[in-house]
Amino acid sequence: MRTMTRSIAIATVFGLLLALAPSMRAHAAGPSDAREPMLLRGLTLADQRGPHSTVTLSAQLTSSEGLPARAEPVVFYEMSSIFGERLMNLGTSLTDATGAASLPFEPTWPGEHTIVARFGGDGELAPAQSTFRFTSDAPPHMHENARFGLETPRKWAPIGIGLVVLALWGVLGLVVVRVVRGIMADAPGDFAIAGVPVAATARQPLTPASVSPMLGILGLLTIGAVFVGYVLPSTRQAEPPLAGPRVPESAHQVTVTDHPFNATVVQTIPGFLTDEEGRLTPNSPDLPADVVSMDGKLFVLDTNRGRILTVTADGQLARIFESDPDGQSSVARATAMTSRGSAMYVAAPLFGNVIELNAAGRVDSVVRPQLPEAPRPFLPAGIAVTDKGDIWLSDANNPRVMLFNDTGSLITTIGYGARTGGTDEFDAPAGIALDAKGNLFVADSLRHEVREYAPDGRFVTAIGQDALSVPRDVAIDGLGRIFVTDQVLREVRVFGSDGLFLGSIGLAPDEPGGASDAGLQYPHGLEVHGDQLYVMDRLSGMFVYKLGGAP
């Protein structure tokens, strides 16, 4: 009997395990395998013109078959560059019966605005994202640019108030002195100090005539403050502005072509990861900026979270290095990373250091560059390491590119650290790269070009003046081809070793308003390894392309 009972119990447990096995496997596989793919499309948005101060941001959420998703939350963000690039939450809106979500938005500055619409997903629907742009030239509100005539008084008011306070203290001190001397003069003889004569004026009461000298001095000081703060600024000539970048007009006339370069997408890594409740997972990156390929592995620079991620064999992201925000090895806000051999190097802006790490995420060294003097704080935007271990760094705040040895000693500098308008200078140096011969290539965002320099720092040529808008990073492959990410065009533009334009990778849809629901949305860093091109898009994630020959 006991044997039969035992057998029935074992059979029951075994049956339950078999029944639960499929659900356990489905849970282990994660919600991303089972959730239905969704499409989020930013609706066409005309540029803001005239006196209008509010625009309506709209996006439509549908399934892969085109069926609208109703009552789903869509969050709208704006790409902000205040204190580093980040997504500024504008608000959340639920989709209607057509799958459209709308949100009124009031731009706070004129110019181009990049809007990100994001659906976090849930237990059944996969996350989706879209970006679109519009230009606002509407003037700011009246209360923001109104002049109340207080600009000039603000310059001298602190001086005048300070002088008044000093004068009041002086008058008060005079009153105290006279009161004390009067008390001493009226005191009995026994309390008089021997040998100390009492002035006759001490017995006199305080009158306006006695304080008139102090009032006269106060008046003179006030007249002097008014003259220095009001008269001189109104007669002084305005100081000449700083020399801006002298960019030829043709540099703004970008040649938009539909000529694609021979490249095929072989892998994508999402730019954000969510759980079943639509919340970001711990391994989800926050505006990643760069990628390197080293020892057969891929490493992602997670900029806003101050860490480095690696791509696992199954295409997932895993943390290997998470820096202390206040430590000397912090990589918070870093946007440039490169590799040499079995080491990767990160240009860290917090302390201006270069962090060297191995493939396991261990910090091997921290290089402190001996920076020359500059008017603004050092802001590294690009890094490259030579075969000897010397380190090239670009400085976006002080337009220059510097070469240091492996201990941080300065070797040479290209650029004066200011916009001089010279033909061989920089305006806004960003990503940098070295070719097989040691030639240096610098992407200059404000000059709309890539500048080539010899290993000794001598200017060679400029590339892409008529084909680039805002270049961010540059990479060179084994054939000498030059790959450039363009933030505005949302493409990777390819040039031959002779500088001729070859084609584009990741063409954005040719639609009014620049709506894009797939592909490159905000490309930044890139890496070439063999016939593989790795592009890090700060919004869409990482794209891996297999390169072909020239078209």
Consecutive sets of 10 residues in the chain, 551 residues long: mean pLDDT of each?
A: 51 46 37 71 64 80 91 93 84 94 86 89 89 75 50 66 76 74 62 50 54 64 60 43 36 60 90 81 92 94 95 88 90 95 95 95 96 93 97 96 97 84 82 97 95 94 92 96 94 94 75 48 94 95 86 47
**Domain 38-141 coded CATH 2.60.40.10:** yes
Provide the 8-state DSSP code for 197. P
CB within 8 Å of 426: residues ≥ 6 apart: 394, 399, 400, 401, 414, 415, 419, 442, 444, 447, 451
The pLDDT, as a whole number, for residue 80 is 87
Closest to 257 (Cα-Cα) out of 459, 520, 467? 467
The pLDDT, as a whole number, for residue 531 is 93
The pLDDT, as a whole number, for residue 163 is 73
- Rounded Cα–Cα distance for residues 317 and 520 (Å): 19
Residue carrying structure tokens 């001493």: 184
Other C-beta atoms within 10 Å of 106: how many? 13
Q: CA torsion, points 185, 187, 191, 193, in degrees to nearest 10?
A: 0
Closest to 36 (Cα-Cα) out of 4, 8, 63? 63
What string of H, E and C letters represents the secondary structure of 356-414? EECCCCCEEEEECCCCCCCCCCCCEEEEEECCCCCEEEEECCCCEEEEECCCCCEEEEE
Radius of gyration of the chain (CA): 34
Residue carrying structure tokens 């902000």: 80
Whole-prediction pTM: 0.72
Provide the 8-state DSSP code for 129. E
The pLDDT, as a whole number, for residue 165 is 78
The pLDDT, as a whole number, for residue 204 is 54
C-alpha of 296 from chain center: 29
The pLDDT, as a whole number, for residue 110 is 80
CB within 8 Å of 59: residues ≥ 6 apart: 40, 41, 42, 43, 74, 76, 100, 101, 117, 130, 132
Residue carrying structure tokens 């996350």: 127
- Each domain of the chain, given as residue ranges in start order, spans 38-141, 152-187, 253-547
Q: The domain 253-547 belongs to what CATH superfamily?
A: TolB, C-terminal domain (2.120.10.30)
Phi, psi dihedral angles at 231 (to 5 degrees): -70, -50
| Residue 32, amino acid | S
The pLDDT, as a whole number, for residue 419 is 73
**532 forms bridges with which residues in the sheet?**
529, 546
